[in-house]
Structure formats: C-alpha cells, structure tokens
C-alpha cells in the first residue's frame, strides 16, 4: 500500500472511531451517522483509495467537478454522491439523476429546477434546506423564519422531497463554538416530524455535531489533507 493510501485509510478509521465514540456518548447508535467524505479539489484517484478503505459517501460542491468525477468513477456503482455546494439552477441537469442528496437548497428557483429535472428523468430527488443559523449577512442559507415558506413551496413540487436541514456555522476557534448553531438547527428540524436528516459538522467540529443530532457529517481536510486552493 502506498503512502497516500495508508494515510487516507488511517484518517478514515480515526474519524469513524471518533464518530462512534461521540454517538455512544450521546446515547445514539453510531449507525445513525453517515460520514460524507468531502473530496472537492482532490483527484478521483484519492476517492478510489477512500473507496478501497470502505468509504461510500462522497461530497462535492461544484456540479461540474462532481459530474467529471462521477464519470471517472463509473466503475464503482455503489458509490453515493452528495452535492453540498450552492447550486445554480442551470446545473441541476448535471446532478439529476444520480445524486444521492442535494444538501443545500435555499431558494425557490433551485427547488423548481431540481423538480423539473427529476420529473424529466423519472426520479425523485431528495434535498435539504440550508439554514443560516449564524445570521451572518454574507452567508448562504435561509434565515430560520424563512424555512417554512420554502418548505411549503417544495412540498408542492413533484419529484422533489425535502428530508431535512443543513447548516455551515460561522467559522469559530474551537469546536464548542459551533454547538449553539447545531442546537438551533436541530430545534428547527424537530418541528418537522417527517425530517430524517440533519447535515452538520465538518473537520473541526463533527463530534459536537454528532452530540447535537447530526445524521450526516461532511468531513474533508481531516481525511484528504489541506486543500491548496478552492475552485472548480
């Protein structure tokens, strides 16, 4: 096994162990939490190494990058793709059909585009609504009091099913800084008994997210290392 393969495998093993411990400490079954390995900017060869180490869920935040990697990895049929970025309506066709979950819808135009595309493809697409729990002006996501309105619209759209919420808390210094945001997201989600997914927690704070009820944690750099530059 080369060095890159053993480093990715060791990182995945360590993160899975930490997720299991955090879940146990919170009295939750570890099987409630899915690790989404965020592979953005990293090559498909790294995704193959993670796959060989047992990882199946991968997250990308540029539609073209996801589509390219999906084609490069088409021989791995049980790999699941998560789109975790901000989606432009005209890119929905790159994701549907084939994407497991769209994590971050925050406006009607994107919900409509996904619905149209799903109907054309004869599938149902599952999505989460991104909530700006930190209230930062520059951040993506809906204000907590805007969630209900988008949910109403989404429920009226065929081919689209909203199954939960997602957030990216303001960058903090220590993991605990994210807890209030995670708790807020969980509280909003609790008003909707039909929700099954809470996507929250990244490399720096996924254990806190698990103790606050995350069902999907999105971890990139702790698996694959530092990203040199972000971009498609």
Q: Which residues bind ligand PLP (CB under 6 A)?
A: 38, 40, 61, 84, 168, 202-204, 218-222
For residue 156, the minimal CB distance to ligand PLP (Å) is 27
For residue 201, the minimal CB distance to ligand PLP (Å) is 8
Whichever of 91 and 116 has its CB closer to ligand PLP, that residue is: 91
For residue 166, the minimal CB distance to ligand PLP (Å) is 8
Whichever of 92 and 116 has its CB closer to ligand PLP, that residue is: 92
Whichever of 164 and 220 has its CB closer to ligand PLP, that residue is: 220
Whichever of 35 and 118 has its CB closer to ligand PLP, that residue is: 35
Verify cis geometry, omega within 30 degrees of 0, for the bond prior to 215. no
For residue 232, the minimal CB distance to ligand PLP (Å) is 13
Contact 128, 101 (CB under 8 A): yes
Q: Tell the residue number behind the tokens 């079954």, with chain if given.
A: 29
Whichever of 30 and 222 has its CB closer to ligand PLP, that residue is: 222
Whichever of 82 and 116 has its CB closer to ligand PLP, that residue is: 82
Contact 93, 70 (CB under 8 A): no
For residue 56, the minimal CB distance to ligand PLP (Å) is 17
- Residue of minimal Cβ distance to ligand PLP: 220
Helix axes 63-72, 44-52, angle to 10 degrees: 60
- Rounded to 5°, angle at Cα 52 from 101 and 65: 45
**What are 79's strand-pairing partners?**
none
For residue 61, the minimal CB distance to ligand PLP (Å) is 5
């Amino acid at each position: 096994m080369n060095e890159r393969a053993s480093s990715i495998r060791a990182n995945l093993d360590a993160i899975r162990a930490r997720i299991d411990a955090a879940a146990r400490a919170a009295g939750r079954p570890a099987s409630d939490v899915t690790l989404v390995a965020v592979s953005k900017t990293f090559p498909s060869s790294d995704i193959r190494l993670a796959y060989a180490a047992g990882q199946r869920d991968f997250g990308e935040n540029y539609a073209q990058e996801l589509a390219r990697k999906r084609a490069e990895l088409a021989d791995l049929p049980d790999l699941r793709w998560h789109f975790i970025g901000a989606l432009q309506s005209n890119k929905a066709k790159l994701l549907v059909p084939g994407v497991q979950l769209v994590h971050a819808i925050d406006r009607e135009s994107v919900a409509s585009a996904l619905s149209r595309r799903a109907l054309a493809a004869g599938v149902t697409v599952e999505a989460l609504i991104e909530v700006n729990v930190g209230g930062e002006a520059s951040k993506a996501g809906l204000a907590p009091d805007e969630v209900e309105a988008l949910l109403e619209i989404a429920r009226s759209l065929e081919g689209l099913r909203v199954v939960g919420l997602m957030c990216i808390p303001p960058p903090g210094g220590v993991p605990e800084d994210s807890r209030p945001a995670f708790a807020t997201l969980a509280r909003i989600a609790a008003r909707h008994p039909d929700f099954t997914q809470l996507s929250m927690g990244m490399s720096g704070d996924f254990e806190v997210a698990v103790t606050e009820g995350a069902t999907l944690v999105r971890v990139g750099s702790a698996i694959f290392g530092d990203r040199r530059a972000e971009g498609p």
